Homo-oligomer: A and B are copies of this chain.
Amino acid sequence: MNRGARTPTLEMVAAEAGVSRATVSRVVNGSTSVAPDIIAQVQAAVARLDYVPNRVARSLASRRADVIALIVPESASTVFADPFFAPVVRGVARVLGDTDYTLNLLIASESRPEKTRRYLQGGNVDGALVVSHHAEDHSYVGLGSALPMVFGGRPLIPGLTDRHHVDVDNVDSARRAVAHLLGLGRTRIGTIAGRQDMPAGLDRLVGWREAVAASGAGRASVDLVEFGDFTQDSGAEAAERMLAREPGLDALFVANDQMAAGAMRVLAAHGRRVPDDVAVIGFDDDTFAATLSPPLTTVRQPAMEFGEAMAEVLIALIAGEDVPRRTVIPTSLVRRGSA
């Protein structure tokens, strides 16, 4: 490292301006109670020396970092490929842009979880946002309540279930999607459910099941479920199985758009017309949903608002405010051609 030419300190600015360090600190941090001419003097000294405050020292003294981490699992390619992710980040960034907080995507090394934990607990951040945590991922339990945290989606992990989180009402959204299908006169309504180790997978299945059961359909209908893992291929495979089991299927609620796209491919391959023979509803309203043929009817969750809400809740939490454990972002059914 280049020793020698060292960066100017607050003390040097104080000397240059002929005031105390405390005064420089006040000016730098925008305190009101400093005489105008002194402010000018200090600012001139700051400019002359090209002074930049040492944030680490400030953090140590003030016990604040002015940093918020958004924790991302190292299997980064998966997350970056998820069309839901980018807008969430943008939402967070937008909210933080108006504050003094800096946003920090922390890539969590999965092979060395203690590295991440130490970083989070070591005073580097004031709070953390957690997205796409799976049921197996217990890395955050240890953090206890040591650090303000907000989860994206209902935490599934024992010991974390009561933590603050932002979520969409997956159960109710699914219910409403099925209600729409019923309103269309459909009676054999199947579902392709997602991974059951994620809230989105679990809850959307529950909503479908509740709505189908409440419709007075027979026992058989409630068993019309095949599972996928949220990828397009898994959706295609699930649709194959579904069609083999229930050729008379007339509607399909799919737990996300990717799988819905796969399912529609298979439906077409089997000569089923959408929506005439089989009505299809997806979930997420991914960017490509409108470009499928027919355009996909789907449950839209506003990703950017989701990110904004997460950031707002976390900031309030850090400020010591009393925030409800659960913040629900409303979804809406986007009617397109497929149902």
Contacts and interface: CB of A to CB of B under 8 A. Distances in A.
B74 A80 contact: no
A118 to B, nearest CB: 6
Interface stretch (A102-110, A237-245, A326-334): A102-110
A62 to B, nearest CB: 10
Interface residues of A, number: 51
Contact of A122 (B2, B52, B118, B145): B52
Contact of A77 (B65, B90, B146): B90
Contact of A93 (B52, B59, B107): B107
Interface in A175-197: none
A54 interface: yes
A124 B58 CA distance: 11
Given A54-B122, A122-B55, A104 B106 contact: yes
A146 B80 contact: no
Contacts of A318: 1
What is the oligomeric copy number? 2
Contacts of A124: 55-56, 67, 124
A90 B76 contact: yes
A33 interface: no
A47 interface: no
A87 interface: yes
Contact of A123 (B57, B87, B100): B57
B97 A86 contact: no
B77 A87 contact: yes
Report which residue of A60, A76, A93 has the largest number of chain B beta carbons within 10 angstroms of its beta carbon: A76
Given A74-B97, A77-B89, 7 more contacts: A2-B145, A53-B122, A56-B122, A56-B123, A67-B124, A72-B105, A100-B115
